[in-house]
Amino acid sequence: GVNPGLSLKDEVKTAVRAALDSGYRHIDTAYSYKNEDAIGEELQEYLKNGKVKREDLFIVTKLGLIHMEPKQVRRSIEMSLKKLQLDYVDLYLIHLPVTLEYDGDDENLFPLTEDGKWKTAEKSDLLQTWKALEELVDLGLTKSIGVSNFNISQVERICKIAKHKPVINQVECNIYWPQNELFEACKKLGVTITSYASFGSPGRPGEYKEAEEPKPMEDPIIQRIAKKHGKTTAQVLLRNLLQREMIVIPKSVSPERILTNIQVCMRHKNKFQNDLTNKPAFI
């Protein structure tokens, strides 16, 4: 997959065009990325021109943190669908197991306290939020549902009460954070791991970084493997995760990198991806 993330609108549109032209069909976004409208414009252009069919696409978006209250969930996905210019998404995720206080402003995505910290809601209930997502499946607004950034305990709690089980847990995963324990626990529950930040997170804001945070792309072992096989370091990092039977959604707005990333995905037969989406992924 490919993820334009919080990039500028023109960059997002360029990235989506490059992805679709390269063969990507799985696009991952989120309400909080503020790029759904740009993605929707490009999707419509390709759909109207007959370059792709809707049934060939696998579109993923995520619930806003300010919309975690069950009564807000349907309204949130409907806002996302309007921006994406779609009748449904293929997968809808709870973005984080965190509920931020909703002040009535749908653009105030990350409300802050006076000391600059996220302003969390006084009350939250992940299980009730999950039940609200299940209603979206029944309404046909999404084909499937899942979670993101959930730990083992949280995934287990959801699975115990689920009418529609989560199909995905999307988490940060790379050579320095392999998520082995989470991967095995989710596998037993029938939940597949999707890896984001597969190359680390060089674009992560400074306040969320460790002082000497290692960079997977600069790892000497990875560099030696890449040189030996005539590949890029990014391709080696992606291949490692694919061979563990994970879905990968590397973030990029560079057409060149988008193309080299998919060259790994297209050659690797990832069983889950073939079975569930049969589509190369782009975030």
Cα–Cα distance measured from residue 245 to residue 230, given in angstroms and rounded to the nearest whole number: 23
Cα–Cα distance measured from residue 169 to residue 56, given in angstroms and rounded to the nearest whole number: 22
Cα–Cα distance measured from residue 262 to residue 211, given in angstroms and rounded to the nearest whole number: 32
Please answer whether residues 101 and 121 qualify as being in contact, where contact means their C-beta atoms are separated by less than 8 angstroms.
Answer: yes
- DSSP symbols for 212-270: T---GGG-HHHHHHHHHHT--HHHHHHHHHHHTT-EE------HHHHHHHHHHHHHS--
Angle, vertex CA 278, rays to CA 40 and CA 64, nearest 5: 40
Determine if residue 95 is labeled as part of a ligand binding site. Answer: yes
Among 190, 184, 200, residue whose Cα is nearest residue 160? 190
Please answer whether residues 21 and 49 qualify as being in contact, where contact means their C-beta atoms are separated by less than 8 angstroms.
Answer: no
| Catalytic residue annotation | 33
Q: What is the DSSP letter of 59?
A: E
Binding-site positions read: 95
Binding-site positions for substrate read: 95
